[in-house]
Structure formats: C-alpha cells, structure tokens
Amino acid sequence: MFEHKPRPEWIATEEFLSSAVVHPDAAVQQAIRAAAEAGMPPIEVAPNAGKLLKLLVQLSGAHRILEIGTLAGYSTIWMGRGLPRSGTLVTCEYLPQHAEVAWANIDAAGLGERVEIRLGPALDTLAALEEEEREPFDFIFIDADKQNNSRYLDWAVKLGRPGAVVVLDNTIWEGAVLDPDIDPVNAPGIIDALKLLGDHPRLDATVIQTVGSKGWDGFALARILPQQQ
C-alpha cells in the first residue's frame, strides 16, 4: 500500500498552526477518533485544510455543496459549517461502514439536517443526481479514488453552476506527478486529472503544493466557466 512520508518538522508546524490559528473543536476531533476506532485509514484532510474548505465555502457564498468521498465525515463537517442555515450538502460514500461512522459524526456535529449521504459507487450517484435535475451545485470537493479523478471533474462541470468552485485533493502525491512509478495505481489518474484541469474549456484552475502530516501533497482549485456560445 502506498504511504505518505511526512517529516517531523512538517507535523510539528502543522500542529502549531492548528493550535494557534485553526482551533479544531471537539466535534471534528471526535470525527478523527471515531475513524481510528473503526479501523478506517487516516487519510482525512489536515485541520488547516479543513478550515480552508470552510472558508472557501463561505467566500464563494455557496448554498449547495457536493462532496465526492466522505470517509468519516471530517471534511464534510468543516464544509457544512461554512454553509448558511438554508444550505445543503450531498456527499458520496462507497462503503456502508464508512457511511455509518460518518453519519454519527455529522449528526453529532449538529449538521444532520443539512447533509445527505449517498451510498454506492460515486459515478452511479453522480449520474442519479443528474437525472433528478437538482439545482446545480455551488461548491464541489473531490477526494475519492484517484483512478476516476478525470471522470469526477467532468461530472463537477455537469453538475456545477457557472462560477462554482471545484477543489481536487491529492494532486502531488509525494511527487508521483513527476515519477508515476512511485504509485502506478493512483499516479496515472492524478496526472490525467491535472492535464484535464489545464485543458478543459470550462475550468480555470491552479494547483498548490503542501506539506504536513499527510506528507508532500497538494490540491487544485478551479472555477467553472460559463459555456461558450
């Protein structure tokens, strides 16, 4: 299994920033503990990244969020807290046991009325959302299986409104974007998605490198452009 390799000083700096600036509260800390107790992999976003998602939701004025990849609901809670009272969040999770843990965490955080967990393969869920003709999403966060990243980006454009924000996590992957042999399972999907971000006529994007408890990684930030006439 591919493993990230954080350096001690990266972790120490992240912990300092979380304590001094981010201030993760009991609900998000409990979400991490619950995930660990359930034997789930520790691959949720770091606290400073969670807070960034919340701020991006607020800065964009989002009312409807789509999340692809729920895990234990850690990022779901951060984003949900950025919504206005009338806002909603749909999150896609493949594994029933993960969805069960996530729902308990989300409900305990007081977000049960705003969040809907859709269980099953995300590509099936996304197709179903299109058929339901729901209002377009204002904010889309993609953090699921990397092999389908490009497909998820295509769905983000289909389901998001013009001007919507798209965040794609895990874009550096310990440098696998330069050396795919580091992780031949996930690297091709990550690289293809980055190329799509640069070439897609309806996505205006950038990519930020990060270091921390999750190792050397990064995220892409994009805006959905209007369709050209």
Identify residue 200 by its one-letter amino acid code.
H
Contact 211, 44 (CB under 8 A): no
Helix-helix angle 122-131:149-159, to 10 degrees: 20
At 42 the pLDDT is 87
Q: Which CATH architecture has domain 8-224?
A: 3-Layer(aba) Sandwich (3.40)
Smallest Cα–Cα separation from 164: which of 220, 225, 116? 225
163: left (phi over 0), alpha (psi -120 to 50) or beta: left
* Residue 86 buriedness (CB in 10 A; 0-12 / 13-18 / 19+): exposed
At 229 the pLDDT is 59
Which residue(s) pair with 209 in the sheet? 218
At 177 the pLDDT is 96
| DSSP string computed for 34-47 | HHHHTT--S-SPPH
Sequence-distant (6+) residues with CB within 8 A of 142 are 68, 69, 149, 152, 153, 156, 166, 167, 168, 169
Smallest Cα–Cα separation from 79: which of 13, 147, 145, 31? 31
At 1 the pLDDT is 56
Average pLDDT, consecutive stretches of 10 residues, N- to C-terminus, the chain (229 residues): 85 97 94 94 94 98 98 97 97 96 96 96 97 96 98 98 98 96 96 98 98 96 90
At 3 the pLDDT is 75
- What's the rounded Cα separation, in Å, for the pair 193 and 144? 13
Residue 111 dihedral angles phi and psi, to the nearest 5°: -115, 10
- What's the rounded Cα separation, in Å, for the pair 222 and 164? 8
Sequence-distant (6+) residues with CB within 8 A of 140 are 65, 66, 67, 68, 156, 159, 160, 164, 165, 166, 167
Helix-helix angle 187-199:149-159, to 10 degrees: 40
Tell me the CB-side half-sphere exposure of residue 112, using CA atoms within 13 A.
Answer: 8
